[in-house]
Amino acid sequence: MTTSNRWLFFLLVSVVLAGCQGLHLQQKGSLTEAESFAKGLDQYIETGDLQPLKMLPKEYPDGAWGPRAELVVRLAEQQEQLVADKKKTIAVKEAGQKQQALQKDQELTRCDSELAALKESNQELTKTIDQLKKLLIDMESRSN
């Protein structure tokens, strides 16, 4: 995942979290959960590792940040899948273009071969015409 994709993802997560700003954390454990979420998010942005965010709902099953972590993980995985699909599409397109180029090269090679054969045939026909002209001249000169 590129840095720009990570920043875009971070921006999306920030917007989602900004909507949750009105919620009040009432338990002391929630602060630890929020810190775990923040650290997990930071680690994802820096390294692309989603494991801490995946573990958050398991560590705090009744916590407020677990669903947010699941959302972040889901969005990150969707984004990675989209990037992978796009790369696959580009690879298929490039392969198709290479195949078309190969077919065009083969067609050009075939056309070059046919052209060479036609030139050779043309030269032989030109020689035959010249011989026939000489024969015609000889025959006319003998008949006179």
pLDDT of residue 143: 86
DSSP class per residue in 100-131 = HHHHHHHHHHHHHHHHHHHHHHHHHHHHHHHH
Angle at 141 between CA 139 and CA 142, to 5 degrees: 65
pTM of the model: 0.52
pLDDT of residue 26: 45
Encode the chain (144 residues) as per-residue pLDDT tens digits.
566 677 667 666 665 666 655 444 444 444 588 898 999 999 999 998 999 999 999 988 888 898 999 999 999 999 999 999 999 999 999 999 999 989 999 999 999 999 999 999 999 999 999 999 999 999 989 887
Domain ranges of the chain: 3-93
- Determine whether 64 is exposed, middle or buried from the number of CB atoms within 10 Å of its CB (0-12, 13-18, 19+): middle
- Determine whether 9 is exposed, middle or buried from the number of CB atoms within 10 Å of its CB (0-12, 13-18, 19+): buried
